[in-house]
Amino acid sequence: MEAEKPAEGAAAEEFFALEGEIAEHDRRYYGEAAPIISDGAYDILLQRRRRLLAQHPELQKLATPRAVGDDRLEKFEKRPHRRPMLSLNNTYSKEELCQFIGRVERASGGPLTFAVEPKIDGAAVALLFRDGRLDYALTRGNGLEGDDITANVRTISGLPHKISNEAPNYLEVRGEVYVGREDFSLINDQREEGGLEPFANARNLAAGSLKLLNPKKAAERRLRFIAYELGEGDGIFDSHRQVLEALRRWNFPTNEFRMGEGADEVWQRILEFEALRRSYPFDTDGAVVKVDDRRLRDRLGSQATAPRWAIAYKFSPERAETVLEGIRLQVGRSGMLTPVAELRPVPLAGVTVRSATLHNADEIERLDLRIGDTVFLERAGEVIPAVVGVVLSERPPRATPYRYPDRCPACDGKLSRLTDEVAYRCLNPDCPPQIARRLVHFASKSSMDIASLGPQRIGQLIEAGLVQNFTDIFHLRLESLLSLSRTGKRSAQRLLEGLDEAKKRPLRRRLHGLGIPHVGMETAKTLALRWPSLKKLSACGEEELLSCEGIGKIVAASVQKFFQDDHNRRLADELKTLGLRTEEAPAAKAGPLAGKVFAITGTFSAFGREELKGRIEALGGSVRSALSRQVDLLLVGSAPGSKSIEAGRLEIPVISEAEIEEMLRERK
């Protein structure tokens, strides 16, 4: 019989698993702006972490230091925050709120006045103004430096282009970028009409829009801004009230605020805001409580990740009860099945909810969900609704535990649950939903970018029996397209022209479009540069793939498995016979910029950063995101970041936008 684990071992095992789970949710929330759990559920994980550390202090040496989340992306220029941009500690408890107020008042020696304002569920940004004009804008990043998102912020309606001469010459305004409720509904309606997946919530939409590379696309997202603090330039103000009044005079949109003295008044202000939460044009998930006296704030200081003079009280998650009428299994392009709860329609947080994601089979088993159950539905933080519990007293007497089927509900193919996955997969590559989603991915902008071939058109082609795989798309002819309903000659010709253009796309785009598991855009580019022929790549073994820098075991095994499949290999071979490029553009080594290593900082008027990078690479050069002594030239646009200073220290030559344009013209 196996010996029982000592408490320390069990605690350590639980702690490591918890650290990994929290890190994954941090990545999804900050890095991808696509959380899969509510704020409340995330906070419960943090509470478990704190409890384990309190019960087992020896685990502290194993703990990953908690920090402000990190939303930085490699594709953006980085700039340091002149003052750390911290997050707020939060609580769902009136008792903890009162303890916070008591601590602050004891530290100050008496009763205090606090400012209370609604907490906007958006994306935090810092705007830097010089001589009254916007100089640059940053995301929170990791708290010490953020991504430069100036071009996207300039598209936000309602931001002043020139602020009052009364304002300091150097001023940092901090606030929240959000998408209003009505605009969010309108954008999702438009996406659904176009056959696109709607955004899960307004916070994800706002955060994701700030990270778009094309400012014109960001301008379409109806972003708004509310100022709530000053970073620098605030030495002239004694109180938070004065700051907000000044921001209003300088034409910044600001939030409503109410003052409260002591715990009782602050609690009353919070209850007032909670009663009003659905009346605001934006999503709010709580109220922020701040010490009004700014000089006292300086004395109180900050912890590693949050100030000691402020706290966020999170409103109770909005809940509803409804009946689970069914569980539908949704098939993705890789065959993975996602269970979706089909619910008796119920109003929740201002919308009518008819379905909710159940994540996977383990979650269904954990909740012991049964068809006919009355369930608790929660929409905390305005994320996708979640089924969080069952009203056991209402369970129908004959309700039985849900069991996953053995066969795919879409094609009757065999289902399998791999040992290293929590999900079930349909093993039939000809499963209709898989075909549709694979083709949508193949034709998408990030892959082959085939004009006039969206989800609705693909569904129509599949239903008509005209396409089943990637190669069928390129066999389409005008006559067959004209046989489709609501298809005129001009729209059919546009699609055929789009297919001809797609044949010219480089190998990296095709690799991404093939939908190889774990191969995203950057990985596809890495593979195409290392093996510029699809034939050579498909013949690689796992060890050879692992020899490529940036390719790990999971990707190597996935690529090898994909090309070992006869069906996949035949499709890849057929692409070449149809006139599609199966080799990367002659490369880098043969171009006039061969061997030259560039770095880029700032913004450029003639082209976007990705376009500039592509032009350099097409001529044989390479572009790195970070400066080092291996970089030959730094390209400097307007509003450059810290790289321009670092280049001087490293003695790296600097060239302007005009000079790089001339260089690219000369070397075509």
CATH number for the domain including 33?
Answer: 1.10.287.610
Q: For 217-247, what is each residue's pLDDT tens digit?
A: 888 888 999 999 998 655 689 999 999 999 9
217 is catalytic: no
Domain match, 244 and 349 both: no
CATH number for the domain including 472?
Answer: 1.10.150.20
Q: How far apart are CA 164 and CA 293, in angstroms?
A: 24
> Total structural domains in the chain?
5
Domain match, 454 and 480 both: yes
Other CB atoms closer than 10 Å to residue 23's CB: what's the count? 11
CB 267 within 8 A of CB 94: yes
Q: For 584-621, what is each residue's pLDDT tens digit?
A: 655 444 567 877 888 887 777 666 666 777 778 778 78
Q: Per the domain annotation, does 583 fall within a domain? A: no
In angstroms, what CA-CA distances link 358 with 23, 164, 376? 21, 52, 13
Beta bridge partners of residue 321, listed in sequence order: 376
Picking from 280, 299, 314, the residue at the C-terminal end of a domain is: 314
80 or 348, which is more confident? 80
What is residue 18's predicted lDDT score, i.e. its pLDDT?
A: 77
What is residue 166's predicted lDDT score, i.e. its pLDDT?
A: 85
Domain match, 401 and 472 both: no
Question: What is the crossing angle of helices 181-193 and 202-210, to 10°?
Answer: 80
Q: Per the domain annotation, does 289 fall within a domain? A: yes
Q: Per the domain annotation, does 396 fall within a domain? A: yes
The residue annotated as part of the active site, out of 78, 119, 613, 643, is 119
What is residue 661's predicted lDDT score, i.e. its pLDDT?
A: 80
Per-residue pLDDT band for 2 (boundaries 50, 70, 90) equals very low
Give one DSSP letter per residue of 371-384, joined into a string.
Answer: TT-EEEEEEGGG-S
What is residue 137's predicted lDDT score, i.e. its pLDDT?
A: 92
Highest mean pLDDT among 70-84, 311-325, 631-645: 311-325
Query: Is the predicted pLDDT of residue 7 greater than 50, yes or no?
Result: no
Q: How far apart are CA 144 and CA 82, in angstroms?
A: 8
CATH number for the domain including 240?
Answer: 3.30.470.30
Residue whose token pair is 């939060």: 90
Domain match, 508 and 619 both: no
Domain match, 616 and 628 both: yes
In angstroms, what CA-CA distances link 314 with 380, 644, 665? 10, 42, 56
Picking from 428, 455, 475, the residue at the C-terminal end of a domain is: 428
Percent of the chain with pLDDT over 70: 84
H-helix segments, 378-488: 432-443, 455-463, 470-473, 478-482
What is residue 328's predicted lDDT score, i.e. its pLDDT?
A: 92
Domain of residue 277 covers 78-314
Domain match, 127 and 242 both: yes
Q: Per the domain annotation, does 555 fall within a domain? A: yes
Query: Is the predicted pLDDT of residue 284 greater than 50, yes or no?
Result: yes
Q: How far apart are CA 370 and CA 35, in angstroms?
A: 26
Q: How is residue 479 written in tokens?
A: 């006559």
Q: For 131-176, what is each residue's pLDDT tens digit?
A: 889 999 999 888 888 899 998 999 898 888 788 888 888 899 999 9
Q: Per the domain annotation, does 69 fall within a domain? A: no
Picking from 21, 38, 62, the residue at the C-terminal end of a domain is: 62
Domain match, 37 and 105 both: no
Per-residue pLDDT band for 258 (boundaries 50, 70, 90) equals very high
What is residue 3's predicted lDDT score, i.e. its pLDDT?
A: 37
Q: Per the domain annotation, does 453 fall within a domain? A: yes
Quick one: which H or E segment has residue 226?
A: strand 223-230
Domain match, 276 and 325 both: no
Q: Per the domain annotation, does 67 fall within a domain? A: no
Q: For 620-646, what is each residue's pLDDT tens digit?
A: 787 876 677 778 888 887 766 667 667
* Average pLDDT rounded to a whole number, residues 459-480: 89
Q: Report CA torsion sign: 167, 170, 175, 177.
A: positive
Domain match, 463 and 476 both: yes
Domain match, 438 and 553 both: yes
445 or 498, which is more confident? 498
CATH number for the domain including 324?
Answer: 2.40.50.140
What is residue 290's predicted lDDT score, i.e. its pLDDT?
A: 96
CB 198 within 8 A of CB 192: yes
Residue whose token pair is 């929590």: 422
Query: Is the predicted pLDDT of residue 325 greater than 90, yes or no?
Result: yes
Query: Is the predicted pLDDT of residue 288 greater than 90, yes or no?
Result: yes
Domain match, 402 and 446 both: no
Q: For 183-210, what is each residue's pLDDT tens digit?
A: 887 787 776 555 566 776 788 888 888 8
Q: How far apart are CA 119 and CA 277, in angstroms?
A: 10
What is residue 381's predicted lDDT score, i.e. its pLDDT?
A: 47
pTM: 0.52
Q: For 349-395, what is each residue's pLDDT tens digit?
A: 667 888 887 877 888 888 899 999 999 887 654 456 788 889 888 89
* Average pLDDT rounded to a whole number, residues 508-528: 83
Q: How far apart are CA 619 and CA 400, in angstroms?
A: 65
Q: Per the domain annotation, does 613 fall within a domain? A: yes
Domain match, 194 and 83 both: yes
What is residue 219's predicted lDDT score, i.e. its pLDDT?
A: 83
